[in-house]
Amino acid sequence: MHLLKHPVFLRLYLAHIVHIIGNEFTFIAVVGLLHDLSGSGLSFAAGTVFRQVPYVLTSIFSGPLLENWNKKRVMLVVNLLRGILVGLFFFITSSAYLWVAFLLLVLVNICSAFFQPAMQVAIVQSVDEKDRLGANSLLQGTTSFLIIVCQGIAAILVYLFSYRYNFLLDAACYFLSLLILLRLPPLVTERVQQASAGFFARLQEGFRYISRQKEIGRVILYQMAERICAAYYIMLMFYILQERGEGLYVFGLLDIPLGLGGVIAGVIATKLADRFSDHKLSVAQGWALVAMGICIYAVFHIQPIMGMAVAILFCAFASFLSSILSVTKLQRLTDPAYLARVFSIREMATMGSFSASCLILGVGAEHVGSAVSSVWLAVFGIVAGVGWLWSRRQLQRREAGTE
């Protein structure tokens, strides 16, 4: 826990905690708002598209722009804007203003596309390489623990009161996160000079850098596959609220095993890093995708809620474990000069895959049902995992042959 004594990481960690607390309250509120305003299961898929597509498109440009901007100032401005925008959801009460809800989703996620790369750069610039896996595991483990606690509280609040008050709680959390970041110490390696190359030249160079660094490209492709599988969550909303006719609070309670899986993944990832070689960690990533495929099938074919919760727990564990290992690997492989560009391109690729998968699954669930759609997604996850394991084995053989 020595990382919590680090002055920069501590502030980033506390701001992240506060933001996640509010975000978990808002997530279930957005689901409830879209459901009430539209009355259609496709609203879940549409909401995901309006969240992710702007995030994906903005991520193309955020990395090159961030290289010339002060990272602390970016995070402060983004939290200020997100706090204002999220608070406006509270006042949307008529289906005639459904378009306003989608517009707010677009604007919030445009802002978020600048926050994540800025935070990743701040972590890499302030935390030693040997401590980064511990930092990523701590962030992910805490995030998952907060999902357990906050979704449980959010579900109770939704059951007892209106979900609309959750929007105000999230807005307050963004403002508190802003206050925490106001005292963020200067980053040790923050560059004060402007990059010499123009914006588009740096953007193109970022894509060329990834194309030259084959292993970075492979990790991004792997994360795209994991995000496609993770889109089962959009079907879960439709399945619980539409096909099973359960209350919104039930969907919120099912986020508890989701968070618990992330907590376990954070603990296991740290232990794996201490005991496993890089090749064994890659093998663990492959089996994680296979496990996701199997668990996705189980989620939509087990009738009892408790059985579904167990399947979600294992699926979340596999998903979070693969994410922690992948992010840490990218931080290690990437030249610091390209870090912001690589992570913005990574966000574009992975969240673009997630968004497209959510839309396809949402339409599929509406027309053929969640159970049928889940079979195809499960098969994709298993095939992608086996493909990753095969490619790792082939790479290891080539490397052994050149020695």
Q: 248-284 burial string, b = 16+ CB within 10 Å, else e?
A: bbebbbbbbbbbbbbbbbbebbbebbeeeeeeebbbb
| Contact assessment for residue 26 and residue 101, using Cβ atoms and an 8 Å cutoff | no
Comparing C-alpha atoms, which of 77, 68, 75, 139 is closest to residue 331? 139
pLDDT grade for 48, boundaries at 50, 70 and 90 = low
pLDDT grade for 298, boundaries at 50, 70 and 90 = very high
Residue 318 is predicted with a pLDDT of 92
What CA–CA distance (Å, rounded) separates 139 from 35?
Answer: 31
- Phi and psi, residue 49, nearest 5°: -60, -45
Tokens 């009892």, residue located = 304
Residue 84 is predicted with a pLDDT of 93
DSSP string for 241-262: IIIS---HHHHHHTHHHHHHHH
pLDDT at 195 over 50: no
| Contact assessment for residue 166 and residue 291, using Cβ atoms and an 8 Å cutoff | no
Structure tokens at 4: 């919590």
The residue among 11 and 151 whose pLDDT is bigger is: 11
Q: What is the pLDDT of residues 52-83, one digit of tens each?
A: 777 777 877 777 777 777 888 888 998 899 89
> Cα-Cα-Cα-Cα dihedral of 4, 7, 10, 11, to 10°?
170
pLDDT at 194 over 50: no
Cα angle value 102/107/111 (rounded, 5°): 145
Question: For 130, how many CA atoms within 13 A lie in the half-sphere containing its CB?
Answer: 2
Average pLDDT for the chain: 80
Structure tokens at 296: 């996705």
Residue 378 is predicted with a pLDDT of 95
pLDDT at 41 over 60: no
What CA–CA distance (Å, rounded) separates 83 from 92?
Answer: 16
pLDDT grade for 155, boundaries at 50, 70 and 90 = low
pLDDT at 193 over 50: no
Spacing of C-alpha 3 from chain mean position: 22
**Interacting residues of 48 by C-beta distance below 8 A, sequence separation 6+:** 231, 234, 354, 355, 358, 359, 362
DSSP string for 160-192: HS-TTHHHHHHHHHHHHHHHHHHTPPPPTT---
pLDDT grade for 375, boundaries at 50, 70 and 90 = very high
Comparing C-alpha atoms, which of 353, 360, 365 is closest to residue 235? 365
| Contact assessment for residue 329 and residue 124, using Cβ atoms and an 8 Å cutoff | no
Q: Per the confidence metrics, is the pTM higher than 0.85?
A: no
Q: What is the mean pLDDT of residues 90-97?
A: 84
| Contact assessment for residue 86 and residue 111, using Cβ atoms and an 8 Å cutoff | no
Q: Is 14 exposed, middle or buried (0-12, 13-18, 19+ CB in 10 A)?
A: middle
Q: Is 400 exposed, middle or buried (0-12, 13-18, 19+ CB in 10 A)?
A: exposed
